[in-house]
Amino acid sequence: MVKPEQPVIPEHSLDRDCTTLSRHVLQQFAGFTAEAQDISAIMNRIALAAKLISRRLSRAGLMAGTLGFTGETNVQGESVKKMDVYANEVFISVFKQSGLICRLASEEMDKPYYIPENCPIGRYTLLYDPIDGSSNVDINLNIGSIFSLRQLEGDDIDEEARDMLQSGDKQIAAGYILYGPSTVLVYSLGSGVHSFILDPSLGEFILAEENIKIPAHGPVYSVNEGNYWQWEESIREYIRYVHRHEGYTARYSGALVGDFHRILLQGGVFLYPGTVKKPEGKLRLLYESAPLAFLIEQAQGKASTGTQRILDIVPEKLHARTPLIIGSREDVQLVESFIQDWLRRKSEQPVTA
């Protein structure tokens, strides 16, 4: 009897299992400079934060006091989830006594948070959304964390933190963690987009994919169509277009990181447009739109407000919001063409007395 071929399950090579996040970061620098060591150590601490949050999420339903709301409202005017508070504190804690990060700025904190012992040598600022999509926490759907690393310039304890109010092109690194069936960390230092998967048996993020490139076009459009009647007419025209044309499919999870990750891998476009009442949109520039725009451009995609490149925007305040159209180059350009066409037609209308 012929023995059926045994499926050969290739063991991960030892070298691959040793390609941890911190090693991958170092490989992107020309040498083992002080900066390389700093960035590698910072990424390693972010990975530790991700592991702590992932561990709590995996047992959240079994731990008293983990799910639900705190009863507080954050600077965004949003109800705060207990998981938001925990995750925010995790990012602070992993950088204490590290000599790495002088200042943190978060969606959950009105003002920047300083770690004085780090400031003399840790000339960096970490901006982050500790839990993005927290409405999904209590129903066990995917959520994420988003981070952006910038150089600290000027005085340390500058309440206004004016040096953070710079364009997204000034980011040193950006990335996100997706807490899904597996925990995935995606990041870029400006030399491509790379993904890592947490191997719980090792407690390490192991390299999964290097130099991810988004398809020039994809089938997915991701938007909350419940806001249809609040959008400008140009966006409604685009949505009617994808409704009428073959080859489009709607996917929207209510958590930006999960929707973004799908589009990064499969192609398409995510939209959170401004509305007539809130033309600036909902998503925050410095720790949501700008880090994702940094990634998408590294993956040869595009990110704009519909009329302006996200990475060109210089915010006037820490928690500034922007409309966001992000994803495959051709799909973002198609949305922009609807907006440009609508603006042209609007400008040609006779001004009514």
Q: Which of residues 27-66 bind ligand P6P (CB under 6 A)?
A: none
Report, in Å, the least distance between residue 76 CB and ligand P6P: 9
Binding mask 121-160 for ligand P6P (x = CB under 6 A): -----------xx-x-------------------------
Does residue 255 touch ligand P6P according to CB under 6 A? yes
Identify residue 221 by its one-letter amino acid code: Y
* Closer Cβ to ligand P6P, 133 or 215, answer by number: 133
CB of 132 to ligand P6P, least distance (A): 4
Q: Rounded to the nearest whole angstrom, what is the least distance from the CB of residue 260 to ligand P6P in the complex?
A: 8
Question: What's the chain's Rg over C-alpha atoms?
Answer: 21
Q: Residue 320 CB: number of other CB atoms within 10 A?
A: 16
For residues 144 and 133, what is the distance between their CA atoms, to the nearest angstrom?
7
Only one of the segments 35-43, 94-102, 207-215, 249-257 lies at the binding site for ligand P6P (rule: CB under 6 A); that segment is 249-257
Q: Which strand ranges, in their side-by-side order, compose the sheet holding 302-304?
A: 249-250, 220-222, 268-272, 324-327, 302-304
**Least distance (Å) between residue 51 CB and ligand P6P:** 21
Nearer to ligand P6P, 98 or 227 (CB): 227
Helix (H, G, I), strand (E, B) or coil at 119: coil
Q: Is 256 in the site for ligand P6P (CB under 6 A)?
A: yes
Smallest gap from residue 154 Cβ to ligand P6P (A): 30
Find how far residue 123's CA is from the centre of its chain: 22
The 10 Å Cβ neighbour count of residue 194 is 23
- With b for 16 or more beta-carbon neighbours within 10 A and e for fewer, the 79-94 pattern comes to ebbbbbbbbbebbbeb
Backbone φ and ψ for 236, nearest 5 degrees, come out as -65, -40
Q: How far is the CB of 343 from ligand P6P (least distance, A)?
A: 25
Site string for ligand P6P, 193-232 (x = CB under 6 A): -------------------------------x--------
Helix 34-59 to helix 82-95 angle (10° resolution) is 150
Q: Does 254 bind ligand P6P (CB under 6 A)?
A: yes
Q: In the complex, what is the shortest distance from the CB of residue 309 to ligand P6P, in angstroms, rounded to a whole number?
A: 20
C-alpha neighbours within 13 Å on the C-beta side of residue 51: 19
d(CA 104, CA 353): 51
Task: Report residue 195 as tokens.
Answer: 């993904």
DSSP-derived secondary structure letter, 4: P
Of the pair 180, 254, the CB lying nearest ligand P6P is at: 254
241: its two tokens: 């277009």
Contact stretch for ligand P6P (CB under 6 A) within 177-185, 243-251, 254-262, 312-320: 254-262
Find the shortest distance in angstroms from Cβ 39 to ligand P6P: 26
Distance, in Å, from the CA atom of 8 to the CA atom of 327, rounded to the nearest integer, reads 37
The footprint of ligand P6P on residues 272-301 (CB under 6 A) is 282-283
Please work out the total of residues on this chain that contact ligand P6P, with binding judged by CB under 6 A: 9
For residues 329 and 302, the answer to whether their CB atoms sit within 8 Å is yes
- With respect to ligand P6P, which residue has the nearer C-beta, 151 or 224? 224
- Give residues in contact with ligand P6P (CB under 6 A): 132-133, 135, 224, 254-256, 282-283
